[in-house]
Amino acid sequence: MCVCVTFIAIVDGAITTVALPSIARQFQLTTAALDGVVVVYPVCLAMAIPASAWLVERFGGKRVLLMALVGFLGSSLLCGTAAGLGQLVAFRAIQGLSAGVLFPASASLLFRTFNSSEQVRISRYTIIPQQIAPAAAPILGGLLVDHLSWRWVFYVNLPVGLPAVLFGLLFLAEHRGPRPGRFDLTGLLLSAAALGSLMFGICEGPNRGWSSVAVVTALFLGAVLLATVIAVELRTAEPLLRLRLFADRLFRDTNLISLVGLVPILGAMYLGPLFLQQGQGRSALESGTSTFPEAFGVLLTVQIAGALYARIGPRVIIGCGMAGVTGVLLLFAACDEHTSLWTFRGLMFVLGIAMGGVFMPTTVASLATLARSDLAQASTLNTVVRQTGGALAPAAVTTALVLSTPAGAAVDPPLAAYRHAYLALAAIAAVTAVFSFTLPDGPARAAARGTAASSRSDPFRRRRVNAR
């Protein structure tokens, strides 16, 4: 259920850009005029995230997850039937709001159901949609737009999501924690405004320019509101965002690694297609098939990391993973117009191998020392951090390319600009790797070993009882 939800939400966030030219032609608009269709999704997603933990605690994970999924599928249907730009933007906003509840609700339900040892094993499967979806979305979107219509970019969610709803109704068990206190409306309004403003500024900065009035205003307002959120929520007895959880060093450090580490990881995924298509003049198909090997590298490493997690701990795995990312990014910086596709594909595969050592351990370790009653809130905060890191990645790449492109140069950046962008990402990855090796992972290792030993001992106890 959670795997299906994650796959749908990630695909929908990535697939829409492929359909923009076709949408622009039908609505007789320029592609630039459709910017709101893309930006409104992450903005509304960020605004909805803060309320998700309270909703899960108040109404139960199963009910909230299914209601959010139904809302997501309904808005997908409405997006496909949109008669104009205004309707499409409005329905995309509903999609974003629904996705903002889907991600943390599914994560909370998953981690409430399984203990630390089981979470490591389950992560081997939940990582699949997170890697396959971004790689498959452009290819799937192109096929749907070319052979059917841009509307099928949204309709495609229904045949995947409706069986998931039916499965959840019939088989998904309800998990509900202690009843929450009164709803923190002040916290919701402040956090939604802060995250929405920051997400708008980050997403629009590369397009409008970081010095534009709209971007500067959004970032400044978002920063002020975020500071206000921190001050208010720390003084509230029953806050919407339980920021006190960051007092736990393991939770704080793993989230910091996620926030900063996602910039070079996802930045490389964003920069690769630009280098191939603009720097080398490759086709979109060549670009898509050349970045896809990364997913196979991640899936391979996750299996190994899952087997080693309890033995060596997340600190070594994450640190080595980020060090590997640094090394591969330095190799990417050495690529030029003569670099073959197979060389690039090989580097993407190795990048995936390094990335696989980061995703699962940071998620599992972040929750290792927290009480089960805090898991819904922790999942919400994790989602906020990861969404922010995901938005910072393309912004950082675009900014590096712009700064490295001489004034008055051609439309596409020169090859030197891509080299500088890769080097900038490598520097961020190197700093993150050094910090990762300071992670206090003793409690995470102990939790994984303890639950693993407990789960292994139960069957033998039952055998001894039966033998008697």
pLDDT over 90, % of the chain: 15
Overall average pLDDT of the 346-361 stretch: 89
Overall average pLDDT of the 120-134 stretch: 67
**Cα gap 168→60, rounded to integer Å:** 13
Band of pLDDT at residue 264, cut at 50, 70 and 90: very high
Higher-pLDDT residue of 344, 363 = 344
pLDDT at position 451 over 80: no
**Cα gap 26→269, rounded to integer Å:** 30
Overall average pLDDT of the 134-156 stretch: 76
Alpha helix positions (H), 60-156: 61-80, 85-113, 116-147, 152-155
Overall average pLDDT of the 268-276 stretch: 83
Burial of 54 (C-beta count, 10 Å sphere; 0-12/13-18/19+):
buried
**Cα gap 437→439, rounded to integer Å:** 6
CA dihedral 387, 393, 394, 395 (to 10 degrees): 90
| Domain 1-173, CATH number (from 3.40.50.800, 1.20.1250.20, 3.30.1490.20, 3.40.30.10) | 1.20.1250.20
**Cα gap 90→41, rounded to integer Å:** 10
Please provide the distance, in angstroms rounded to a whole number, between the alpha carbons at the two ends of the chain.
40
Question: Which pLDDT score is estimated for 464?
Answer: 34
pLDDT at position 158 over 90: no
Tens digits of per-residue pLDDT, 288-341?
677 778 878 888 888 788 778 778 888 999 999 999 999 999 999 999 888 898
Question: Which pLDDT score is estimated for 237?
Answer: 79
Q: Which pair of structure tokens corresponds to residue 436?
A: 């990762």
Residues 6 or more apart from 49 whose CB is under 8 A from it? 100, 101, 103, 104, 195, 380, 383, 384, 387
Residues 6 or more apart from 253 whose CB is under 8 A from it? 435, 438, 439, 440
The pTM of this model reads: 0.76
Overall average pLDDT of the 74-103 stretch: 87
pLDDT at position 121 over 70: no
pLDDT at position 462 over 50: no
Backbone dihedral region of 60: left (phi > 0), alpha (psi from -120 to 50 degrees) or beta? Answer: left
Question: Which pLDDT score is estimated for 127?
Answer: 67
Closest CA relative to residue 246, chosen from 256, 257, 236, 258: 256
Q: Which pair of structure tokens corresponds to residue 274?
A: 């630009």
CB 411 within 8 A of CB 278: no
**Backbone phi, psi, residue 172, to 5°:** -75, 125
> Kindly report the CA angle at 110 between 54 and 256, in degrees rounded to 5?
75
- Range with top average pLDDT, 24-28, 247-251, 361-365: 247-251
**Cα gap 319→436, rounded to integer Å:** 5
Largest CA distance in the chain: 85
> Which residue type is seen at 308?
L
> Where are the chain's structural domains?
1-173, 184-239, 246-455
pLDDT at position 425 over 60: yes
**Cα gap 296→349, rounded to integer Å:** 7
pLDDT at position 116 over 70: no
**Cα gap 106→112, rounded to integer Å:** 10
Overall average pLDDT of the 216-228 stretch: 90
Q: Do domains 1-173 and 246-455 have the same CATH topology?
A: yes
Overall average pLDDT of the 14-30 stretch: 72
**Cα gap 123→110, rounded to integer Å:** 10
Backbone dihedral region of 313: left (phi > 0), alpha (psi from -120 to 50 degrees) or beta? Answer: left
Burial of 305 (C-beta count, 10 Å sphere; 0-12/13-18/19+):
buried
Residue length of the chain: 468
Question: Which pLDDT score is estimated for 468?
Answer: 35
Domain 246-455 = CATH 3.30.70.100 = no
